[in-house]
Structure 1
């Protein structure tokens, strides 16, 4: 079973829907450039990203005078890449994976460690090998530090990472036992890192090391397999478990299809995951060109997160250049709305969906929209965005209601409308 392909050529509204979901938002010209294309061709083109970055990024975390300053610069640099980078889908996926393989700057305060983590998210954004992604993440100093596996040694096992590997990163709750957690922790003993520890060494680059003398080499039974299992073995067993396909596919459907996914569609993506041995790119290419993705009931079915709202507004406005201070302020403002980059609420990540919206966060969204359109420091736009870019359709009732207003007012009111909060 696989998802049914979307047969028609993309209309402008189809293209707008695709870019709202995969690129945070887009200008009228970018939308119309995709109109008329085959859905599979369009999805494949968006997924065909390189390691290219946005030119002129004003933020260098290595210039931070303190760990806290470096973290702020890291957030600013990532926000700049989301707004102006050549591969917004890569950044959208990196944001999605940061809410899956969660780390937090409350504990991870080393700049090279954070940079390596972000680069890992980008490199594996549409990975052909989820198991390899999981292994590299498990061995990254950022994850070792955040979930304390750098303290995991023979005779004094630390189960934090072993538990989250199963509960949050692979199979999900209900598909493993407490014995699996304990045995997994034994297998992961001896995994740690050297360098970059402490506030005085926040610019020093750490590296993964395996300390054989701290490793428990005894026989272990994990997810039904018995032997002298290593850390690599347990990560592979967890990442290739049949239920992992469902758990990860559901995350992708929540990110790209709707806040409350159709479990039959999730099952179809899970089958593709299994058939391709964890090829996330194949799952995404099928998903983003499916009749499910373009179904009427799945349009305007995702509440934009604070970061997606901010980045989507800037990309929809034609990517006007913002000052460095404005970008840093916007990164902090996203935090006030509940989404501080690299600092999810808990290890399970942001809940998203309706949790993004309340009276306080709506007011802050209004203030962001005003700053981008009406305020004295609002960027100058080459042209006002069209209803297609702002709303994803040229037939909205809102358009008729706002037609008599000045362009800036019209844009502001559209950005704060319920229609723009939904992707």
Structure 2
């Protein structure tokens, strides 16, 4: 992997920073970045573009655009790219570890203690976290529908996605929905709008990009075959989480239905534990993908919770990073192509349908059992959408509400 000096129109900073500098900057962000992927991008801009002058606003916007175009966790991909730009491959690794570790550790610890929640208070707390999931996923569906279903064509693609999921079910239905959305976008959503050609910040060779794409494809196709023949459950975990991480378009919340099909559908984690962990994920800073750490710790693999969690975390983040490295050398050309933008528009519309189907089952059906549950979830939704409350506030409010329901 080769890098050259950054373009001359960038701020006057050192072309290569230090790995420790990158690690400390992202550790600060990993400890304080609440609010989900869009909020994380705002924190990155404030800390690294405006305060530290690592790159220009325009260059940052181009990196964000690429990460939103590709499958994967957009905010973590942007962080990985910023670390790569600042201090090379080790900087990218440092950025990932520092931004991910705080929330991952908190969720793994929560998973190891989750079984201790019993009695009215513990069960009420768990039910409150399920209500958090209803509010948060509802907000995600609402926001994504407004952004990605802006016309009748894309709204129709979202509806087709729901129908496919209902008809086929499970992971196959979700994959079929996303593929159908991309195909529909290619046929119906192409646009000839001019797109500004971005500055080539990352001087990666095209050979590097081709190798990264090749590794991504080999793992995507080969892991299910190898894990099916092997007896080690960790290999199955790696394969399943890698598949899920490869299909996430449109935001971190979209990983919810993919992981639900992978772990709950296969009986690896109970539905109650799954939704409890997802609710708890809203209370910690950092990327939503660290929910995989909770699930890896919860699954009975014969290994320690920390090993299971580490394997799940590496597997779910890896495809997004491979795709980013693969896409960087080709982005300036690819983003000019109407067909590519059409596929992305259709895929984004489809994921609205995927997430909408998950909102009903398992999120809604597991949490909304009485009218008071609906009222509590609606309260959380209004706090998020109308009052712009941070997710951790909603976690506290609804967790206490769940305990109150259990004690009354």
Measured against the shorter chain, the TM-score band is under 0.3
**TM-score, structure 2 length as denominator?**
0.27
Q: Which has the higher contact order (CA 8 A, sep 6+)?
A: 2
More helix by share: 2
Find the structure with the greater CA-based Rg.
1
**TM-score, structure 1 length as denominator?**
0.26
